[in-house]
Structure 1
Amino acid sequence: MRVVKEINDKACKITVFSWNGKYLIKLEQGPFEQTYKVSEMDVLEQEIDEILSPEFIAECLERFQQMGETLSGALSKL
């Protein structure tokens, strides 16, 4: 597995890997992570920045918030 790029944004950490014919776009925030797999046949390495647009990041951050709410709801039922 090769690290293609790392972005340490204030809101989340983004790491892009190249592995097994795919780019793995991994976003991490606190205890949560999201991973998106994109075929290397569909995207050039230099196009990854276009995928990581402000809109894409904003939607991922919203998803992190939803993940936190889901986990909190599940833990409150214990």
Structure 2
Amino acid sequence: MRQLADIPHPDAKITLFSWNGKYLIKLEKGPLEQTYKVSELDVTSEADVYALLDAEFIQAAVQRFTLMRQDLQAAFDRQGL
């Protein structure tokens, strides 16, 4: 796996990788992470991958972290952990 870029953002760590014919967009916030795989055949260049990372996409992903955290906490609560 080759790291292509760290993309600065105040709400999440965003890293772009290239691996096995795919671009991987990895977002991290605390102990949670989201990875999106984009086939190299679906875009014409690395610049297209950057274009996918518009404000609307990033805002939705950051909001999803809140839901992920709630889901994990609910699982802990159900198990009494």
- Greater share of helix residues, 1 or 2? 2
Moved over 3 A (4+): none
Aligned partners of 2:49, 2:5: CA distance in 1, in Å? 9
- Contiguous gaps of at least 5 residues in structure 2: none
Question: 1:13-33 CA deviation, whole Å, 9 max, x = no partner?
Answer: 000100000000000000000
Query: How far does residue 8 in structure 1 lie from its aligned partner after superposition?
Result: 3.1
Please give the root-mean-square deviation of Cα atoms over the aligned residues, in Å.
0.9
| 2:51 counterpart of 1:50 | yes
Counterpart for residue 70 of structure 1: 71
Is 7-16 or 32-41 further displaced after alignment? 7-16
User: In the aligned structure 2, how far is the partner of 1:40 from the partner of 1:6?
Assistant: 19
- CA drift at 1:75: 1.1
TM-score after normalising by structure 1: 0.94
Where in structure 2 are the equivalents of 1:23-34 lying within 5 Å? 23-34=23-34
Matched residue, 1:9: 9
Q: Distance in 1 between matches of 2:23 and 2:50?
A: 12
Q: TM-score, normalised by structure 2?
A: 0.90
In the aligned structure 2, how far is the partner of 1:36 from the partner of 1:49?
Answer: 13
